[in-house]
Amino acid sequence: MTRRFNSRHLAYGAGLLVAAACLWLSFRHARLSDVWRIVAQIGPLAPLVLVPYFVAVCLDTVGWQRIFTEMGLRLRLRRLLSVRFATEAVLMSAPGGSVLSDTIKPFVLKATDRVPISATLTSVTLRKWAIMAAEVPYLVIGWLVGFGLYRAASSAVIGQPTGFEWIAIGVITGLLACVSIGYAMLSGGRMTERVYMILLRVLPGFLRVHLRAAHDGARSLDAYLRQVFTQRRRGLALAVGLYVVHWFIEAFETWLIVRLLGFPIDFMHAVAIESACSFLRAMAFFVPAGLGVQDLGYAILFGVAGVPDAVDFGLAFTLVKRSKELVWVLIGYCILLALPVRRGPAAQAPVSEITEAAEPAPQRAILSHPVKEPDDEACAA
């Protein structure tokens, strides 16, 4: 317990040190009086900054609900929205927030709606894949419209006159490869079972006892994945389309804040800047909300884009954006504390009649196997 406690705090401290170093490098020459003058231009329109994030999370949640629907589970949109806002607060405030927020989702939905942990784990896996698939066209468009911007930023980012634009295309290619490999692995419908068998061979005996308790949960995961990728592709494609729109709403948020701060940026330039900063945010996953690293990227790209007093403007942009995130973090934690806890047996995780009819009798027995609570918890562990 103490060792885990110290490790978490060490990771958090390392993330904060990186964030502080990047913030100092970005804004050490900023003039605070000019920064406040730029921020003050927003005035009574400040609440508008909260709107794009709300719309983006709503679209994200509709896509997540669609994935649950294709798995045969009907969940209320309002409850899923509550869980999304609550877990997003963890994502934006904790080191390794993306992993941590996805880890707690199964337990939150099990506590609030008695959703089997195996079902939520499957939905989270499919959601991650859909987000990655949607990011590919978004980043390609950002690269196409921002090629000159990326090249001009190369000297500041990598210390070379050119090259950042090709690093970006390399990242996009790598992401596309991950999406393709992920599709091949998930659509096979036996990935979890194969991982289970490998672990069963290599783990020591005292761990195999706990692993065997998760076997039914592993089969349930594979059954859900097989159902969605073989019988429900149209619904999955719709979810990917919603996530594409979600990515562009993030760019719209950047465009809106920059416009409110007084610089007439073009929307496609905002797409290029936001897509470039998403590379940095992904690389700095251990830093809470990409603090400092992402802000350094904004400061550099604003200067390249021709924003006057880019350092002061970048700090003003960061203050507005981070203030918005702080508001939503507070709202998210309040929602997390207010979520109801339901008692009683776990809900059955139905599998569609189409899949049952398509599978042979032994396989249907696997698909219709009820998911027991101990199996769910062992599967999550």
- pLDDT value at residue 374: 40
- pLDDT over 90, % of the chain: 27
- pLDDT value at residue 198: 65
Residue 378 has pLDDT above 60, yes or no: no
- pLDDT value at residue 212: 61
Counts for the chain of helices (H) and strands (E), in that order: 19, 0
Top-confidence residue, 96 or 142: 142
Residues whose CB is less than 8 angstroms from the CB of residue 171 and which lie 6 or more positions away in sequence, other chains included? 139, 279
Top-confidence residue, 13 or 132: 132
Residue 174 has pLDDT above 80, yes or no: yes
Lowest mean per-residue pLDDT among 181-185, 194-198, 376-380: 376-380
- pLDDT value at residue 233: 81
The answer to whether 116 and 347 are in contact (CB under 8 A) is yes
| Alpha carbons 254 and 268: distance in angstroms, whole number | 11
Report the SS3 class of residue 313.
helix
| Alpha carbons 255 and 261: distance in angstroms, whole number | 10
The answer to whether 116 and 359 are in contact (CB under 8 A) is no
The pLDDT tens digits for 270-287 are: 999 998 887 777 666 566
Residue 202 has pLDDT above 70, yes or no: no
Residues whose CB is less than 8 angstroms from the CB of residue 335 and which lie 6 or more positions away in sequence, other chains included? 82, 85, 86, 89
Lowest mean per-residue pLDDT among 75-84, 147-156, 183-192: 183-192
The pLDDT tens digits for 39-85 are: 999 989 999 999 999 999 999 999 999 888 888 888 889 999 999 99
Mean pLDDT of 162-175: 86
Residues whose CB is less than 8 angstroms from the CB of residue 337 and which lie 6 or more positions away in sequence, other chains included? none
The answer to whether 286 and 14 are in contact (CB under 8 A) is yes
Residue 189 has pLDDT above 60, yes or no: yes
- pLDDT value at residue 323: 92
Alpha helix positions (H), the chain: 2-27, 32-40, 51-70, 77-93, 97-113, 117-145, 147-152, 154-158, 164-187, 191-202, 205-212, 215-231, 233-260, 267-283, 293-304, 310-338, 353-358, 361-367, 373-380
The pLDDT tens digits for 105-140 are: 888 888 888 888 778 888 888 888 999 999 999 999
